[in-house]
Each structure stands twice: as structure tokens, then as C-alpha cells.
Chains A and B, each alone.
Chain A
Amino acid sequence: MSAVAQYVSNIWRAVITTLIGMRVTGRNAFTRPVTLEYPDERAHLPERYRGILHNRIEDCIGCLACARACPVNCIHIEISKRDKEDYGVTSDGTKITQWIPKFDIDMSLCMICGLCTEPCPTECLTVTKEYELAVEGKREMYLEFALERDKQIVAKKMAEKETPAAAE
């Protein structure tokens, strides 16, 4: 291409490409914004979204499967054998043979992989769709699920074991 033709084509290209760009942005300006105004609007979460963990403690049989499955050891469980007459039953009919005085999940360690929910036999440990994980203090990241009833019963049993005479 001769220098003059190059010169003219440069000008032409500068004008045309600018106009093409302006057409694209101009068209964009009149499309619907894709913004979700977050606190007012919520994103639609997918079916299998993994959020924070939750345990329906009434159905928990204290099998420790979740604690073993956890790759980062963020689930801390303590169990204590129930007497025969205290056996409970879960909503799906499984026998509950343990008191569970402690069922804690440290969400500051948890990486929300969901591996703990897979071995759970009664499907009481689940991931929720709750994704707003911000809390005001570190203590609030430590989720405690144990029932007050179980805590008291086990505490009483421990006290009896230490001083059997005092209990009578």
C-alpha cells in the first residue's frame, strides 16, 4: 500500500472503529443492568449449593462418622452411653444409644467441603444454603448443637461416678 493510501485508510479505520465501539457501548447502555442489589435482592442459589453446616441434633445418633470424615477436624463430638431404658429413636426409626453432651463445629476451620454430610446415617448433618458467614466475633463461628438436656444428664452421671456416695 502506498503511503498516501495508508494514511487515508488509517483515518478511515480510526473513525469507523470508534463508531463501532460507540455502537457496542451505546447498545449496552440500554440493556437491563445485570446487577443484583444485594441486600434487597438475593441471588438464586443452585440446587446443591453448599453453605454453612447444620445438625438436627434430635436425629443425631452420635456415631462420629462425620468427625472421622472431616479432613480438617473441625467437628468435635463427645458421647456417653445411654442406659437401656433411655434409648431414643430418630425420625427415621434409628435407635439412639448415646447421649451427646458436645457436638461443636468450628466454622473458622470448616472449609464447607460437605464430606461430613455424606456418611451421616440419619442424614441429620446437612449443608444449608446460608452463605452470609460474617459474624461479629470469633466465638460466633463456633457452632454448638448439643442439647441442654444431654449436657445436664451427662454432667450428673459424671458427678455420680466421682462421688457415688453423695448421689444416694
Chain B
Amino acid sequence: MKEWVDGLIRGSAALRGMPPEVSYFLAMVFFGLCAVGFMAICALAFVWLERKVSARIQSRYGPVYTGGKFGWAQTLADAVKLLMKEDLVPTSADRILFNIAPVITFMASMLTLVAIPFGDGLIVADLDVGIFFILAVSGMAVIGFLMGGWSSNNKWSLYGGMRAASQIISYEIPVALSLIGVVMIVGSLNMSEIGRFQEGGFWRWNLFRSPFLFVAGFIYFTAALAEINRTPFDLPEAESELVAGYSTEYSGMKFAFFFLAEFANLFVVSAIASVMFLGAWTSPLPWQLLPGPVWFLVKAFGLVIVIMWLRWTLPRLRVDQLMAVCWKYLIPISLVMLIGLGVQMWKFPVK
């Protein structure tokens, strides 16, 4: 990506005239906006997809009229409606925190996009600490949730915020532990490196390289569901108990930010899972039949559909069950898998 930006700057007369700091800054702003735009389009598509998937699972059609066929413009209409809505701030709310919260949540999910490789070399910032950066940044979202819950001065919001905090912080651990396995076998935190390591067919994907990583993959997937507040772990926004959790008091654009962040997280989690375990942009066969980014998006969107499928299948867990799943099952199992993987790598070194 950096070489490509260099080439772009050399190629363009307007950019070449500027000092390098400015031209790099402009180029990065441009690619950042591209990423945000991609994310926004993805989120809109996912909202539509979610409605369609839920409808089909319940033997309904879902949206059919808006935009002609398949109701494809339904979320567009919803988004316009959200933007038109009055932006309310409760009188007793903490105004500053209330306004910052959605931005932080949105930022946390957008920043993760920086280190996700869409193809070989197609990555905004090819960080050497890639996956570590993603974990650190996505952990920031919890601050936004807690801020939103606290500053709304509403009991539902506060409960939602507290639940989000306890849940997300607990589930960071199994997520990190299951990803460490991948880092161990690849020997790098760099996302592109991890992708390149898995090239050459599905048997070289991390998920199938070791039985321990196979289990770790499922642990990551489960724990990631909890991290992005999806059913069966959607306690922070449990509609039937807490109205909408931490976003109860939000309306208009600010609510849209929370909403967008939620659906962006859906993509981020699937993208990380497909990079770490499902071979990123590589094809499942030794021949690269389709371009890398296409394979990547196919995998990520496939996982998104699986997450939606799970959402409309499983009921919500209780708080004690939630904590039991994390501390009594996911964490011990992922630790055992880590040790097992260590032993495997010691006895049968990779390559």
C-alpha cells in the first residue's frame, strides 16, 4: 500500500508539488474516507441482509417494496429517516459525554479497518503489530458504551452500559487467547504475514492446520459474538428488558452512529476470523480462481450470514450463564488449546 501511495504521489503533478507530509496526509485521508465509505455501505447492506435473513428464517419475505425489487432501498430509506430526526439530549444528561460516546464507539470500530488486509498488500496500514492493534482499538468501544450508558442518566442505559462493560472486558480474554494460537503458528502479528502464511489451499488455512487451532477458531467466533453484542450474547441491548440498552436515549444521527458501529463490528469480526483462520484472501484450492479481495469478501460475508443465522436461532443467555460460558468454558479451553498447540509445534515443527 505504501509503495502504491508513493507511486500515486509521484504520478500526480498536483500531489508532487506539495511537501511530502501534506501529500501523504491527503492520500491517507482519502484512503481513510474510502474505508469509512466502504464500511457505511457494508453496514447498510448488512441491515438489509439481517432483515431478509430473519424474515426467511421466520417464513416471511422481509422488505419487498422499497426500491422496487427485494426492498433493496429499505435501509437507505431508514438512514434518511434517521438523519432527518430531531437530535434530542435529555435535560439531565451529561451533555459532553453524551455527545462523545457514539463518536468513540464508531471510531473504535472504524480504526480496526485500518489493519485488515482485503487482499495481498491491499491494506491501509500494514502494521507489524496488526492483530494486537485491532484488539487494542476494538477494546476502546467499551468506553463509548459505558459513557453512553452513564451520561444518559437513565436506568436502562446505565444497566446496558454496565452489562456491555462487564461482558466485553470478560470476552476480550478468550478472543485474545484464541488468536494467540494463530500468532504462535505464524510467528508474526502482521495481518498480511498471517494471510500469506495460509496460501495454497484450504488445508493450509490455520483452522485446519492443527486440531487445537480448529477449536480455537470456534472459541474466537463465539467470544467475538459476545464482544459485538450479538445474540445469544446481546444482553447490553436486550430489547425485551432494557429498551435498547446504552443507546436508549439516543436519537437521530447519534443513534445512527451506534447502529453503524454495531453493524461495522459485524464485518470487522468476520473479517478478522477469515484472516486469522480462513486464509484471508487465499482461495480454498491451490489455484487462485478469483481475485484475492473477492475471496476475502466471500469469506467475510459468509461468516456475517452465519452470525445472523445464529442470532435468529438462539435465545439470549442470562448474565450468570454469560459469565459461566466465558470463565468456566471458553478461557480454560483456550488455555488448554494454547498448551496443546505449543506441544504440537515442539514435536512437529511447522515447515
Contact = CB atoms under 8 A, between A and B. Distances in A.
A166 B289 CA distance: 102
Interface string A1-35: 00000000011001000100110111011111111
A33 B309 contact: no
Contacts of B55: 33
Contacts of B61: 33, 35, 37
B329 interface: yes
B69 interface: no
Given A33-B61, A35-B61, A37-B64, A22 B309 contact: yes
B301 interface: no
Contacts of B53: 29
B29 interface: no
Interface string A131-142: 000000000000
Contacts of A14: 329
A18 B314 CA distance: 7
Contacts of A35: 59-61
A26 B309 contact: yes
Contact of A29 (B57, B64, B310): B57
A22 B306 CA distance: 9
A14 B57 CA distance: 21
B231 to A, nearest CB: 12
A85 B255 CA distance: 79
B85 interface: no
Contacts, number: 42
A25 B57 contact: yes
A29 to B, nearest CB: 4
B58 interface: yes
A35 B58 CA distance: 10
Interface string A29-71: 1111111010000000000000000000000000000000000
B31 interface: no
Contacts of A31: 59
Given A11-B329, A33-B55, A25 B312 contact: yes
Does more than half of chain A's interface fall in helix, strand or loop, or is it mixed? helix
A24 B310 CA distance: 11
Contacts of A34: 59-60
A35 to B, nearest CB: 5
B224 to A, nearest CB: 15
A31 B55 CA distance: 11
A10 B58 CA distance: 28
Contacts of B313: 18, 21-22, 24-25
B60 A33 contact: yes
A14 B219 CA distance: 13
Contacts of A18: 310, 313-314
Contacts of A29: 53, 56-57, 309
Contacts of B310: 18, 22
A111 B118 CA distance: 64
Contacts of B333: 11
Contacts of B59: 28, 31-35
B36 to A, nearest CB: 32
Nearest to B58: A28
A33 B309 CA distance: 17
A3 to B, nearest CB: 11
A35 B55 CA distance: 10
Nearest to B312: A25
A20 to B, nearest CB: 9
Contacts of B314: 18, 21
Nearest to A28: B57
A1 to B, nearest CB: 16
Instruction: Kindly list the 4 A-B residue pairs having the minimum CB-CB distance in the complex, ordered from nearest.
Output: A21-B313, A29-B56, A25-B313, A25-B57
Given A10-B329, A28-B57, 17 more contacts: A11-B329, A14-B329, A18-B310, A18-B314, A21-B313, A22-B310, A24-B313, A25-B312, A26-B57, A28-B58, A29-B57, A29-B309, A33-B55, A33-B59, A33-B61, A35-B60, A37-B61
Interface of A: 10-11, 14, 18, 21-22, 24-26, 28-35, 37
5 contacts: A11-B333, A21-B313, A21-B314, A25-B312, A25-B313
